[in-house]
Structure formats: structure tokens, C-alpha cells
Structure 1
């Protein structure tokens, strides 16, 4: 057949019905990638994975597609390039790791393979996941499929763009301050930041260890829940991994919203948010009321400090995590070094990009003896106050709703020289990472430039099932998920 379905649910049905094989699907996927890659530029590594992917697809076909088939048997999935993959180059989009080939798989990749998924390649990102536009990669700039002159967001911009472009039905991204939800919003796909600790971070190249989260990006809510079910669960190799969690994330999909209480914080309606985005959120609130939910305004007063707190804590953790890239053990080593100090200084100076250097310096300063109390310690205290704000709201409400971003996707090059403007744009996503709660972005329409708008739903820790329920209810009554960019 010349045209394959685009969602995981449809692909699973087609494979089961014998309409096509996993090998045929894989060949079609690589054709799609090849045809659209010159425009989208999402991939950092494809060719080296083809032979391995073909063997995985053949194995999926041999297993068959009966009731006992693995959850994602034969489904092609791409992985963000800060998640390590055995014998497949993993760069974190940095010159520092340009030639790094891991000897093991991240736990999430292991679990995708165990679920029968076929890994097709590695995806571009802002270097070491530090950025909100995908312009900070050392290798290429990924483009937004809805408008190739716009950014796809970041740092998981390529993870969102490849799904939006229908190159693959699903991808893995990472979210430290909004890096799944913001690109999902900009590209009109579904992306979830799961509860911190519900998905293993083993094999994720660390940025902010108390904030980093791996999550799936898909075309539909049902698909998203399927992929999260495949990768979530306890992992003894991750000391922050949560035990005995319920991973039946699809359990509430399709259930009524009657009587559900949804909070809409007044801080998520501020003048800093684009008028068209605000109007889309008000329309979403009206929709939920029409479904029998109670939508009320609340306040999260300390959330306004989220950006300040985040860039102190995240930069401090980045400074600590990136100490390991020293030119000694692995990664880039300067050929100009003539002393041990040269090895450290020149290797890091040559291989790290400006954004990474900026955050290392900010983090090192805030952890220094003269600044620790004034910055890092105070930020940690305010983080607790932000968490208490959310706890108070969650004591009375099931879900919090609001926009994902202050605007739709902006022009490539539009903010690249203004890091402060880029940082402030994360004000709606960052608080969720600081408290460790789950949050999802679901397509909620388009602005006057035909650029996607995302609706953010924030849930109680470990209550992803309710998020999927509320997101799915919105999705099935609107036509946004089925709309595709014209590439």
C-alpha cells in the first residue's frame, strides 16, 4: 500500500489485520524521513541504525500480532539524542560528544525494544537540552513543519517536529523546564512530562537531575498513553525511581468529566500571554464546562518566581553534571593542550556552545561560597513555597488548566541573541518541573498565522490517568489532532 496510517492505534490494527508488515512499515518510515528531512532537519543519526532496525522489524513480524504481542510490536519510534543507545552514536547535539558511541541502552530504550518498538534514529535538540528553540544544537537547526521559517521549540523540538511531519508516529523527548510540552504546543502534537521518578532516567545524559524527565510525543492522547505505559515503572538503576506505581495510564480514557473540578489560575491569564492563546484557553474552559466539569479561577501566587528559581537550580545542577566532561575520560579532548590544565580548559572551551557555557557559569556562581545562601539556598526555599501553592489547589481540584506557552512558534533567529526573553517564555511550564507533577500539552487550535496552540493540563503526582482522561475528552470533540502540515 502507498499510504500507511499515522497513529499507533491504527498501525497496530493494520499490522494485526495483515494489511502490511513491520518491515514494509519500516521501509515506508525511512522513505518519509528521506523525503522530508531536507526541509525539517530533525535527525542526527539515521543510517547507522538501518540494519539494526530492519532486524527488529523482522523480529516483530516473526512474533506476530496476536493478543499476546508486545504493546508496541513493529511500531517505529525515534529517540532524542540525549538518551543513550547501544552502538548508536549519542551526541546530546554537542561537539563534546560528537563521536560518542555508548556501550549500553538507556532503560527507556530497553523498554521500548522489549515492547517490540523499532528504533529508527536519533533526534536533534538544543545542546545538552539547554534551550527553547532548537537553535542551540552544534550540528543543525530543526524547522517547524507548520512553517519552515519558525522554530520547532526546544529542547525536544526535533522530537515534536518529526511526529508533526508524520515521519514517525511517536518519539521520546525530555522535559527539564518545559522541553516536551513547549515543542508539542508549537508543533501541534501531544506531549507529556510524566511524574518525576515514574520513568527511569538511567541512560539520560543529565542536565538538571532533580528536574529531568523523559516522556513520549505522539499524534493522539491514546497513543501517548500507550508509549508511556511501555516505558514507565520502577528501575533499580535509578535512585530516584518510584516503586509500585500504577502504569495503566489508559484506564480513564473515555470516562465522563461530569463533576470534575478544573482549576484555571489567574496567573495563567496574564497580559504576557498572547491574546489568541488566551482566547483559545477560554474556549477550552467553556468546552469543559459544557462537558459537566466545574472550571473555577484560582491563584498560584508563588509561580511568578518560577523562572528565577528554575534558572538558579537548573544551572547549578548543570554545572555539577557537566563537570564529567573534562577531556580526560570521554568526550572531546583538545589537541592544543600542553598541560593538564590545558586539557580541562581548552577541551571545554572548544566543545561547549555559548548557552551551555552560560549556564555552567551561572550555576558555578550560585553554588560558590559567597553566593550560595543568597541564590541556591533561597531558590530551594522558594521552590518549596511553589509546591505548597500547587498542593493547596490540588486539595480541592482534580486538574489545573492553562496555556503551555505565552505565544505560538517564533521566527528562527528571532530570539537567538536574547537569552533572557527565551528564559521568560518558559514561565508557564517551569513550575511543573519544580514540583515534580505530571503535565500534558494537547493541540488546542491555531492562531491567525495557522500556527498550533497548545492546551496544558497539570495533574496531581502519579495521576497521569486523569490527565489523559481530560485531554482525550477535549481531543475527540475537536479536529486538531487529525490536521497535518502541508509538506
Structure 2
């Protein structure tokens, strides 16, 4: 089964017609993983027996015409809890942890009949932009195995781009869906904060985290969002908003839409070739009838600093629950309860997680709160207000997803600040709780370049409408990574 030459709608038609069974499709997916993953290293856990059992249940019931995802395999980022299936968040401290319930999005996909074939690699606790901070393995870029896949949802993006699975779920705290989607040349959506339930997502920064789909095409992405979006009373930040059929917006018509292009998104630090490729994509949108104007978002430059203070502060609070008492890894040969805490966290957490815990704890301390956390929260408000001023006049904002294409492993390991700046274009979207989508805009040196579309709150349909029009005009999704067997 070649997932690089098909889509979810075609797979659905084959399942409905009986041309292929859910069991056969799941087995073909497991075969893909067996062939490609030893080198790609996208999966932490492959749930062969559980997946085949799920697929058999789908075959017994049959696939109805309105069950768009029934019988279709997918992979879930390993910070989404899955009942009876090891969930590690790519950390040593959760090694061996098997949850007793499913995350809300996993429940929704199970109800829709989708088949979970396993858990995908990420940066430890979603802290990183390369998957290099994972305790278990380092995922490779689908287009060039010497390059990073991006992160933290690097496993999810690479698995889809390499054709291991038709779609995957990721989470996005500061760009962790959109950045790896850009580096792997696929479609990645970070929905509006509150659009998708976070219940069952292992928290990094609760006011920033959001779950979203990674797919090869825009329509596939919309189909998955249809299934996972919606209000959930178990998540106190879940929005009571009606979920439209997002595929209905894929009309191909974007005439008259007003698009804002921030000058700051093409400024210092953005590779000229990336900027040129994205500008060519913007010209394509103009040719399709959109109105394009330049605007200014001057507070963009403060986004990274504000994000790392706020995100790390929330992480220092959220990660207190990992203490070696209730689940996961526990240090041996400890002398006291306090020693148990210290040794478990010392041995269980990686360097990047410790770095952010320390930064967050310091930012929340009595002597630093006003100078750091409070100031960062004020900057967040300014960034939000800035976006709203633009959306009062424009339908969406367009620019590069990342300042560069995928780079070599280890390139920024000695200077975390350089790596942090790779998220400068994606972070403001999370700070403002907006939806953002990355789509392939072209290639530089054979590596994909991501274009980011940013919408106002709950305007995912507009993002899909524009992205689909561009996708149909360029047909870039038809290009296949050269290294895929």
C-alpha cells in the first residue's frame, strides 16, 4: 500500500466498496512501518496486535459511506495517553507507563473507526524542535536522513511524509506541528486554542498546547479535524463552538480574500531562498484572486522571549507530578523521600527538560515574578492585540513557517538559543491562541519550504480554503521523498 500516491478519500472508497478490508489495510501499514522505520525511526511503539484487533472489529461492523475515517490507520504522538499502550512522552521518567484511559482525541478517532497503529517519537515532553531530545531515538527527515525532521512532532511528520501512515496526530505548543510539517513538506494544522480537547495530552504548557493533524493533503487534514474537534466538558479550556464540515470550505475560490503579509516575517534571520520561495507562493495566491498587502507586526521579535518564560513556567508546574511515586521510572538506592524525588528527576529527565524547569521555576520565584513572568504575560497581550488589529482588516496572514529549511543533526545542540529562534515565526500564533497551518510552498536544495497561513480564532475553514486552492494550483503534494523505499 503506497500512501504517497493515495489519500483518505480514496482509501475510504476502497473500504466501502470492499476492494480492501480494514485488516488488510492495517497489515499493509504495519508492513510499511517494518520496512521504513528501522532507518526513519519515527515510531517509539508499534501496536501490532491492538491495531489488528481494532481493524477486525471495523470489518465485522462494515464501513458506511459517511464513516470517512473508519478502518484507516494512523499514528499518535507519544504524549497522547492510550489505554493499555505504553505512553512515554519520549522521556525516561515515563518508561513503562501504560495509561488506564484514552485521550479525548484518541477516543474520538476510535469512535470514528480509525485504527491506531502506534506511538510516534517526539522531543522529550515536547520540549525541542528536532526530536534530538528524545530519550529513545532520533527521527530522520523524510527527504534527507542526514537532516532533522523538526519537532517536537517530528515522528508524526516524518511518518506521514515517508508514507508509513496516512495521517498522524501531533501537538503544538510553539510550532511543534507546523515546523516539522514544513521541514517534511506536508500539511500541519495547529487549531484554535480550545477547538480540540487537550484531555489526555501530557501537558507541557497548558495555556499554549493544542492537538492537531498532520497529513499529505489539505482535504485529508480537514477530514481529520472534523473527527477530533468539538467541546469536551473534561477540558476546562474546551470551547463550546459548533464544528462545521471543514471540507465544505474547499471550493478553490479565494477571489476577494484579503491577505496580510508581515514585513517582520521576511526580516533578519530568514533565509533569502526561503523568503523567495514563499513570496512565489504568495504571488500564486494573488493570481488566484486574493488581495495581498504588507503589514507590520512589530512585537513579533519579543515572542520567543515571552514564550520561553511563560512556557517554561507552566512546565515547571506541570512536571511536578513526575516524582517516581505513582507511575513510570523510579530511582533505586534512595535514602529518603526527598532523595527519591531528586534522584528520580535527576535520572529521569533529560537536559532540555531540566533547563526549562529551572528557567520556569526561576521566573515564578518571588524575586523574579514581576520582572519576568508578569512582563512576558503583558507582551503576550500586546501580541494578541496586534493580531486582532490586523484581522479587523484582513482575512488571514501569510508568511514563512520557518526561517530556514531542515538542517543537519547536532548543528545547534551547543547553543539552544539558536534552536529556539527557529520558532520565531510560529510562536506568536500560540501566544494569541490562533489557528495556524503550514503547507509546502516549494523546495530549496531539495528540501521542502513551509508557508504558514494564520487565521483569526475559529477560522480554520478559511485557512483550509486558501491552502487547498494553493495546493491544487501547485500540486506539490505529488512530489515524493527520494529516499522512500
- The equivalent residue for 2:437 is 440
* Rounded Cα–Cα distance in structure 1 between residues aligned with 2:344 and 2:262: 46
Alignment partner for residue 166 of structure 1, among 163, 172, 176? 163
* Rounded Cα–Cα distance in structure 2 between residues aligned with 1:168 and 1:3: 7
- 3-state SS of 1:250 partner: helix
* Rounded Cα–Cα distance in structure 1 between residues aligned with 2:462 and 2:61: 33
What is the Cα deviation at residue 340 of structure 1?
A: 1.3
Q: Map 1:228-239 onto structure 2 (within 5 A).
A: 228-239=225-236
- The equivalent residue for 1:181 is 178
Q: Map 1:66-145 onto structure 2 (within 5 A).
A: 66-68=64-66, 70-145=67-142
Moved over 4 A (4+): 1-5
* Rounded Cα–Cα distance in structure 1 between residues aligned with 2:7 and 2:412: 33
Q: Is the 8 A contact 2:4 2:162 kept in 1?
A: no
Alignment partner for residue 478 of structure 1, among 458, 463, 474? 474
- The equivalent residue for 1:59 is 57
Q: Could you state the TM-score of these two structures normalised by the residue count of structure 2?
A: 0.98
What is the Cα deviation at residue 6 of structure 1?
A: 3.2
What is the Cα deviation at residue 4 of structure 1?
A: 8.8
* Rounded Cα–Cα distance in structure 2 between residues aligned with 1:28 and 1:299: 49
* Rounded Cα–Cα distance in structure 1 between residues aligned with 2:359 and 2:345: 16
* Rounded Cα–Cα distance in structure 2 between residues aligned with 1:6 and 1:134: 28
Task: Show CA shifts across 1:437-463 (max 9, x none).
Answer: 00000111110x200011100001001
* Rounded Cα–Cα distance in structure 1 between residues aligned with 2:305 and 2:335: 40
- The equivalent residue for 2:29 is 29
Q: Is the 8 A contact 1:458 1:467 kept in 2?
A: yes
Task: Give aligned pairs, total.
Answer: 483
- The equivalent residue for 1:6 is 6
What is the Cα deviation at residue 127 of structure 1?
A: 0.2
* Rounded Cα–Cα distance in structure 1 between residues aligned with 2:333 and 2:403: 45
Q: Map 1:340-419 onto structure 2 (within 5 A).
A: 340-419=337-416
- The equivalent residue for 1:50 is 48
* Rounded Cα–Cα distance in structure 2 between residues aligned with 1:25 and 1:278: 40
Q: 1:2 to 1:438 in 2, by over 3 A?
A: closer
What is the Cα deviation at residue 284 of structure 1?
A: 1.3
Q: Map 1:250-269 onto structure 2 (within 5 A).
A: 250-269=247-266
Q: Map 1:300-379 onto structure 2 (within 5 A).
A: 300-379=297-376
What is the Cα deviation at residue 245 of structure 1?
A: 2.6
* Rounded Cα–Cα distance in structure 2 between residues aligned with 1:71 and 1:416: 42
- 3-state SS of 2:249 partner: coil
* Rounded Cα–Cα distance in structure 2 between residues aligned with 1:119 and 1:229: 17
Q: Is the 8 A contact 2:252 2:468 kept in 1?
A: no
- 3-state SS of 2:248 partner: coil
* Rounded Cα–Cα distance in structure 2 between residues aligned with 1:247 and 1:89: 34
- 3-state SS of 1:133 partner: coil
Q: Is the 8 A contact 1:159 1:173 kept in 2?
A: yes
Q: Is the 8 A contact 1:316 1:364 kept in 2?
A: yes
Task: Show CA shifts across 1:100-136 (max 9, x none).
Answer: 0000000000000001100000001000000000100
* Rounded Cα–Cα distance in structure 1 between residues aligned with 2:453 and 2:32: 32
- The equivalent residue for 1:20 is 20
- The equivalent residue for 1:295 is 292
Q: 1:65 to 1:327 in 2, by over 3 A?
A: closer
- 3-state SS of 1:244 partner: coil
What is the Cα deviation at residue 16 of structure 1?
A: 2.0
